[in-house]
Structure 1
């Protein structure tokens, strides 16, 4: 009887609660992005400033908020696509998820610094470096998810790691460029993510679209 329980218990530990927790934490991180802007609204109201005056005074904060919102939403979309509720969980896998979550929850702080301080190399490195670290951890998550599902015979997508790996490579390139010339405009290099993903799949770096693994075989 006890042997039967030991054999069946691990499969019961799936990712449903973990996904719910991660989604809630990411939603909170998105909400916290707005706090510096709310402080500016209170100051503008006290000074009876116009909308144009408010936007002019807080343009950098508004841009930082918009950019970070898009980045976190993009990371969540990829994470949501690769983390399935029927995947068995483990301590190591959970710790990896928390490591990635740290890079998301620190984004409101990095965003506030980006919108409030003068642009220099350390500031650019902290912002783009956080995004790069998040992308590399997301790539690691994709690799673990693919291996975990394959090990227990669950279907998985052979090219699961292609998108996060292409993002990680591009963010790393952007970070290096930002160290040469401190600027956030290097983030436009992210437009190359799609073509890089296609090349990674074409050359079989992260698996191929036609791989039999997609049906769990």
Structure 2
């Protein structure tokens, strides 16, 4: 017999801990940029030259910051429906936290090295792990209504959002790594299509529901 879900205060403590991990990851992202300033000052580099010579570092930072924020926001939205915990939720949340706190490492690598199949696999692969863990978290909460006692249920539309993002990242991983010389990280633009795909699927669901009536 499965153990009963943990009480709501445990869920809140997990959210607080997860938010702290995300804050640490964001701090680790910006630290290399902070270190550039005294180095540039010692070498007599002006502000304009500093910015021009480190556009890659700034771009990588902004990309990873937006990615982490997007994942955090999705996590935040998910846990509005969670009032209890079980082992699956804790396990998938742990994997998600590992992928988030690891993000500064592939960010540093894509800054230091030219795009290649290896760098794309490492960076986008980390995003796939994060998205996959979050999708499985969402699916777990959706399938176990006892985890949402006293709160609104996770809907299948919420699950759809996670699945479409994961599918887009998997496709971006394959395309970016296969055509690393020309496509590489541009494959992440596929994420912009997820909203359109979700709308098409929801429309199909609505038509199917209307047909059953």
TM-score tier, shorter chain, comes to: 0.7 to 0.9
Residues 3-28 of structure 1 deviation map (CA, whole Å, 9 limit, x = unaligned)? xxx98x94456411000100111011
Please name the residue that 1:172 is paired with: 170
Q: How many residues align?
A: 200
Please name the residue that 1:188 is paired with: 189
Please name the residue that 1:114 is paired with: 110
In structure 2, relative to structure 1, the CA distance for the partners of 1:117 and 1:152 (3 Å cut) is closer
* 1:128 is aligned to 2:124: yes
**Bigger helix fraction:** 2
Give the superposition deviation at 1:132: 1.4
Equivalent in 153, 158, 173 of residue 156 of structure 1: 153
Residues 64-106 of structure 1 deviation map (CA, whole Å, 9 limit, x = unaligned)? 0000000000000111001137521123321110001111000
Q: With structure 1 as the length reference, what TM-score do the two structures score?
A: 0.84
Q: With structure 2 as the length reference, what TM-score do the two structures score?
A: 0.85
Q: Which runs of 5+ in 2 are unaligned?
A: none
Flag as ranges the 4+ runs of structure 1 deviating above 6 A. Answer: none
Give the superposition deviation at 1:109: 0.9
SS of the residue corresponding to residue 34 of structure 1 reads: helix
Residues 32-67 of structure 1 deviation map (CA, whole Å, 9 limit, x = unaligned)? 101121222221111121122111221111100000
Cα pair 1:87 1:145 within 8 Å, conserved: no
Please name the residue that 2:15 is paired with: 19
